[in-house]
Structure 1
Amino acid sequence: MKILGACPLDCPDGCSWVVDVQDGKAVGLRGNKEHPVTRGALCVKVNRYLEQVHSPERITHPLRRVGPKGEGRFERITWDEALDEIATRLTGIIAEHGGEAIWPFHGNGSLGYVQGLEGFSGRRFFNALGSSLHEPTICSIAGNTGLNYTLGTAGGMDPEDLAQSKLILLWGTNPLTTGHHIWKFIQDSGAYTVAIDPVRSRTAERCDEHLAPLPGTDAALALGLMHVIVSLGAEDGDFLAEHTEGWPEFRSRVEEYTPERTAEITGLPVERIVALGERIARTRPTAIRVSQGIQRHAGGGMALRTLACLPGVTGDWAIPGGGLHYSTSGHFELDVEGLSRHDLLPHPVRTLSMTRMGEALLDPAGPPVKALFVIAANPVGSNPDQRRVIEGLAREDLFTVVLEHFQTDTADYADIVLPATMQPEHLDVIAAYGNLYLVWNEPAVAPPGECLPTTETFRRLAHRMGLTEPALFESDEELANQVLKNYDIDRLRAEGFLKIEPKPVPQGKLQFVSARAVEDGHDPLAGYTPPADPGDGLVLISAASHYFLNSTFGANPELRRRAGEPRVTIHPDDAAARGISDGDAVTVGNARGSFDAIATVSDAVRPGVAATEKGRWAKHTGGATVNATIAERDSDYGGGAVFHDNRVVITPRTHAADDQAPSASSTLRA
């Protein structure tokens, strides 16, 4: 039997897959050949997804902590015992501290609109309790905000239109690792491809040209390229006159970014800037593919705001195959509010930032957080300032419930761990953020052991707490009908996927000068905001791994073997200055923390930059990962994370030094 489903993981591609079922067990998983983006292929990670489903390490029954927080020692309990304990603790916390003392911390371990995606369905339960709201600031909020200032939407171009492009700028993105299906449309185009990335990634290796600007200087480069275009008289006067606002003011700003000034800011040769600007000036259509990496720094929102101006200057927004693609989420008309039901809140409540977890748990500005629900997330592995996150989770007065598949670093700090279903075991709906397809996920097999869908967990908990609001007990089918009320759900369920109609981009006129930005306290003009990390040393990029997806698959033995030990790539000039050779053991750190790695000396990174990968679990790497070095600071727009606005010192790690200095793991526990 073959069951159509959808990959739930935090990847733009939103793949449609086929589950082969024999005797009630999932025995095969493959990409759906009928889906125009998936085209029958999954990625190196998801090809091993059934190993996750059938893993002997999977949590399949409720657990209660029996040792100190962080040790990961638990005993098996029944669902009744777990629900009773949770209901009793929550009732007491609400009575003493109010509902805002509860923080439902939702992550992107599942992008399903029914079972995951910041817990839109579980949000109903927490709203009924009056709990704090959760702001998912860790991923793409800065870029979304910046694009909205310029375009009125973050939706962007249909990535399938890349097949019509003549020039494609792959700006701060590595799709061959982080969403490879778009590469097929790039290949179909035959376009000249330029990778703009401080690191020579897998994708950059395959492009016609690679430019490596200093991290966080992308907006300055965009302004410099527009300067070249305008100096050639190649701007599209008709588009600027009819479809934009604020061009005279923005042109004055563009004229400030001469190739020489741009070179000084970005670290690129003047001639490379001029050559690319000239290529863009004479090539229509030109498309820009940009992903979340470049907006994870102090000027991240401004970077996307300014990049979206470039196709406005050239008129590419009006040409099929031209424009910018960041996220297609803005095109979907999903009833998220109807799913979340914020009207169930008994009164206004505070909002807690996802990327400020250490601060909220240790130094709260308002009521203390006394109960934490972690759902589809592993903040010890994914959040900034790992040491403070661990310190907060270790609080004995913090009651923590984790819904999980595996005993993650975060689950080790839980009081109660609840077993959650995986994608072939529940109903769900996926809306891709890298294309325009809705994908239906039909349950294919029964859950193992006592695993429950997240929706069912909250239905049972609502009943146990004596709540009577009917919306808290709606079935998964009813929840799916709610979020998809603007689409043909019967057709979607029957066919497995459905392409939606994109909205116009820009919506209205493109805003070089944004009144909304002014209202929010920002520069009225698109421009450049420099990086802000005041530390010494090298700028550290911590990009996505080819073998892990965030921290998902961090426990998979084969993918861990392929990924190997944690490594940090350093330019030969920087390595020589520090007495580091290829293959040396090194410590990478700053005032916040450190982690251990093996040095790769290579010109794959430019001087002044080091590169490593995210996704490993701290318990597998000596107690710390790259996130031990990341600051809990906000980007310019929306309170986004600053993972790539991070300076570190890299030093050789010798046995003598290890005897005299605290290790990364002991530093975390101090």
Structure 2
Amino acid sequence: VPEPAHRSLRKFRDPVATACTACGSACAVRAFRDGGLPVQIVPNPDAGDLGGVCPRAFAALEAFRDPARVTRPLRRTGPRGSGTFEPVTWDEALDTVAEALARGPERAYFDLGRPDPLAGSVLERLGVRHRIDAAASLRWGAREAQRAVYGAPLAAPDLSRVRTLLLVGAQPWDEAEGIGRVGKGLAELRARGGRILCLSPYERATGSVADEWIPIRPGSETLVVLGILRVLLTQGGFDAEAFGRWVGLAPEKVLEALVPYSVDLVEAASGLSALSLVRLAREFRAGAPSLAWVDAAGNPEAEALEAAAAVLNATQGDPEAAGLRLAHPLRWLPGFEATEPRTRAIKDLLAGNEGAGLYLAYRSNPVYEAPRSRSVRRAFTEEDRIGLVVAFDTHLTETARVADLVLPAPTDFELWNLVGGYDAEGKAWVLLQQPVPRTPPEPRWLQRPDAPLEALFDGPPNAPVGEARQLGDVLLAVGRRVDEGFAESFPYPDTGAYVRYLCDTLPPLAADGGYAALAGTGVWRARRAGYPWARENGFPTASGVLEVAGRLAHRMPTDLKRLEGEDFALVVTRPPELDPAFPVSARGREIRHENPLWLHPEAARALGLSEGDWARVRTEVGEARVRVRLAQGIHPRAAVLSWGFGHDEAPGAGWWREHGPGVSVAQVAPFRTDRHGAQAWKALRVSVSRA
């Protein structure tokens, strides 16, 4: 593991352009090196609005030098789950993985927490059916709902076009992908006089910087949007003809479906007053261009919520002109398409429907993150249930501690990839993610007898440090072991060679200088727009318009009905600075020291609880003892806990030795899945009492 970086002006030497994919999005960054190793990062100035850094980017930089990193392949020596390991060679580890895969690729699970350019095509070639995207699993229900309504998932909106932003359940300043760029867009919206209206059960940073935060009852988000939509359609004042072109239905037909959602019903169920509902509808119409941004992730009513927001935005006449964007992929770039959400896969394993021959978790931690995590841990220790468990990660996570093999993974600044999308003008862009470290350091590289002559000018190659390998490298090696014709289809020695090949052969990139040009600036931009605008091409649905018929209906989750007394809706927050990929890093442990239970003062008073008291949080699968904190910015029927605490191992000194690692939400969360098999985190009921 590299020594700690120098805290001096040496932090701004030897720059290299790369991309950070730590949060599920992609931001262009410029990294600086000292002795060939990264010591500082800043937004890439050559990338314009694609550049950005956030707390997770700095966490990745700290994780690179963390002394607790896994640095070599390990094999368990005791019973599974004992956490005892011995070093092995990469060849031994690869042979073991290849043997397990060859016994039945249809029973292999690959759980990916970071993107890899080779994963999609190689896993499909090898016949792996269970392909999981850890980040996408959290938003699986929302993305499937968006596909049903729009024909494709939504991208982050173009906030430069928005004058009035209505947030219902969405808190982009706290949890949006690409939080650095989104936060900048929200700040610029405020600076030019725009308005942000936030409706949610918990205020957080988004509500505190919005022009207005209005608390609503947990689980009522869909009902609130339907109520605003009914008021707006009843009042009129919008382009009915344009509305019909986008929705495929006349306003009168939509109103028929909204008859049950009167302002009185919305007020009784959500706590939002009838006057506020009418006022919000008027502000949305008068403050054009307006955009409704909802967060349907973890919501069992995801389709209804997305459909209601889509129709509300259609009242603007042209929702794309108001900032709406679909996440159209650049189809000429390699991608990874997950086949199922993690919760569905884990539930099948727990139920014994189909045992797994191999479960490989790459930069993901299912034993910690899955609901009923204690039961999941037990299942992963049963060898007759899962034949081989492989944790391919930077640290000894909970999954690594029950694994048969632990493989050293690169951190986010040691990866090869190409990521792309469309900018606000509809022009395609591509970012090159390349390893920042030079390995070995330049003086040692020049002393090697096999160093090529060009090394005198170019220096050593960029690559992960030590024995860390990228997932693509491992898949190439495993593929050659199990498939005789594999090398002919995938002739690349490693992932870096594949990415360089793509840069030099994909026509858009090759025409502008290929890898040599992209490695210097880190970003490529198209000269002409190529985004398939819905106003010109229609939505990518079967009808070409928004598919909302039959979806404008509200059903309050059963567990969230009649909340009173000790019963609350559990609101799970995911702080952006707590990256689950670094649970045992020193920096990750020191960002936040505790995970309290946040309650409204009135709700706490009714339970006899005060600031700092200990409370017991119970569900049908477990309970936890937590410290109480009080805040006015919470709905009285909401109880708030944060994600990212309660890990197995805490540092053995200081605050953690006395107070422990905090509470893991997953330990007390039962399985609550939506129609797509994704976990419905926004439909959990808990009981709170004095401990």
Report the Cα distance in structure 1 between the residues aligned to 2:39 and 2:263, rounded to whole angstroms: 57
Structure 1 gap segments, 5+ residues each: 115-120, 343-350, 654-670
Query: How big is the shift at 1:129?
Result: 4.1
CA contact (8 A) 2:196 2:210 kept: yes
Change in Cα spacing, 1:543 to 1:122, as seen in structure 2 (3 Å) is: same
> Counterpart in 2 of 1:251?
255
> Counterpart in 2 of 1:547?
577
Per-residue deviation, residues 531-564 of structure 1 (Å, max 9, x unmatched): 2437972111111114203x13322323422311
Tell me, what secondary structure is at the counterpart of 1:58? coil
1:384 is matched by which residue type in structure 2?
A: P
Tell me, yes or no, if structure 1 residue 562 matches structure 2 residue 574: no
CA contact (8 A) 2:68 2:585 kept: no
Which of 639, 643, 646 aligns to 2:677? It is 639
Query: How big is the shift at 1:645?
Result: 1.1
Runs of 4+ in 1 over 6 A off after TM superposition: 432-436, 510-518
> Counterpart in 2 of 1:597?
626
Tell me, yes or no, if structure 1 residue 488 matches structure 2 residue 472: no
**TM superposition score normalised by structure 2:** 0.81
Query: How big is the shift at 1:227?
Result: 1.6
Report the Cα distance in structure 2 between the residues aligned to 1:233 and 1:130, rounded to whole angstroms: 54
Report the Cα distance in structure 1 between the residues aligned to 2:410 and 2:123, rounded to whole angstroms: 20
Alignment of 1:222-241 (within 5 A): 222-241=225-244
My pick for the range that moved more, 207-216 or 431-440, is 431-440
CA contact (8 A) 1:409 1:617 kept: no
1:395 is matched by which residue type in structure 2?
A: E
Which of 468, 483, 494 aligns to 2:485? It is 468
Which of 610, 628, 639 aligns to 1:610? It is 639
Report the Cα distance in structure 1 between the residues aligned to 2:276 and 2:332, rounded to whole angstroms: 43
Report the Cα distance in structure 2 between the residues aligned to 1:332 and 1:577, rounded to whole angstroms: 54
Alignment of 1:225-624 (within 5 A): 225-247=228-250, 248-291=252-295, 294-317=296-319, 320=321, 322-324=322-324, 328-336=326-334, 353-365=341-353, 367-397=354-384, 398=386, 399-431=388-420, 437-445=429-437, 446=439, 447-465=464-482, 467-469=484-486, 470-474=488-492, 475-476=494-495, 477-478=497-498, 485=506, 487-488=508-509, 490=514, 492-499=518-525, 501-505=530-534, 524-533=550-559, 537-549=567-579, 551-619=580-648, 620=650
> Counterpart in 2 of 1:69?
80
Query: How big is the shift at 1:634?
Result: 2.3
Report the Cα distance in structure 1 between the residues aligned to 2:344 and 2:662, rounded to whole angstroms: 21
Per-residue deviation, residues 352-378 of structure 1 (Å, max 9, x unmatched): 54112432222133x421321111211
Per-residue deviation, residues 221-266 of structure 1 (Å, max 9, x unmatched): 1111112212222232131243331234322123432211111222
Tell me, yes or no, if structure 1 residue 131 matches structure 2 residue 128: yes
Report the Cα distance in structure 1 between the residues aligned to 2:376 and 2:60, rounded to whole angstroms: 29
Tell me, what secondary structure is at the counterpart of 1:228? helix
Query: How big is the shift at 1:131?
Result: 3.2
Report the Cα distance in structure 1 between the residues aligned to 2:194 and 2:680, rounded to whole angstroms: 32
2:568 is matched by which residue type in structure 1?
A: L
Report the Cα distance in structure 2 between the residues aligned to 1:70 and 1:253, rounded to whole angstroms: 54
Change in Cα spacing, 1:553 to 1:224, as seen in structure 2 (3 Å) is: same
Query: How big is the shift at 1:188?
Result: 2.5
RMSD of the alignment, in Å? Answer: 3.1
CA contact (8 A) 2:292 2:312 kept: no
Report the Cα distance in structure 2 between the residues aligned to 1:134 and 1:434, rounded to whole angstroms: 29
CA contact (8 A) 2:150 2:540 kept: yes
> Counterpart in 2 of 1:151?
150
2:15 is matched by which residue type in structure 1?
A: K
Q: How many correspondences in the alignment? A: 613
Change in Cα spacing, 1:380 to 1:37, as seen in structure 2 (3 Å) is: farther
My pick for the range that moved more, 581-590 or 502-511, is 502-511
1:6 is matched by which residue type in structure 2?
A: A
Tell me, yes or no, if structure 1 residue 20 matches structure 2 residue 32: yes
Query: How big is the shift at 1:578?
Result: 2.1
> Counterpart in 2 of 1:651?
689
Tell me, what secondary structure is at the counterpart of 1:181? helix
1:456 is matched by which residue type in structure 2?
A: D
Tell me, yes or no, if structure 1 residue 185 matches structure 2 residue 188: no
Report the Cα distance in structure 2 between the residues aligned to 1:135 and 1:408, rounded to whole angstroms: 18
Tell me, what secondary structure is at the counterpart of 1:566? coil
Report the Cα distance in structure 1 between the residues aligned to 2:476 and 2:412, rounded to whole angstroms: 19
Query: How big is the shift at 1:498?
Result: 3.6
Query: How big is the shift at 1:650?
Result: 2.0
CA contact (8 A) 1:295 1:304 kept: no
Structure 2 gap segments, 5+ residues each: 1-13, 440-463, 651-659
CA contact (8 A) 2:132 2:342 kept: yes
Which of 94, 98, 104 aligns to 2:110? It is 104
Per-residue deviation, residues 406-432 of structure 1 (Å, max 9, x unmatched): 001111110001111223323212346
Change in Cα spacing, 1:204 to 1:233, as seen in structure 2 (3 Å) is: same
Change in Cα spacing, 1:36 to 1:145, as seen in structure 2 (3 Å) is: same
Query: How big is the shift at 1:135?
Result: 4.8
Query: How big is the shift at 1:439?
Result: 1.6
Report the Cα distance in structure 2 between the residues aligned to 1:433 and 1:73, rounded to whole angstroms: 47
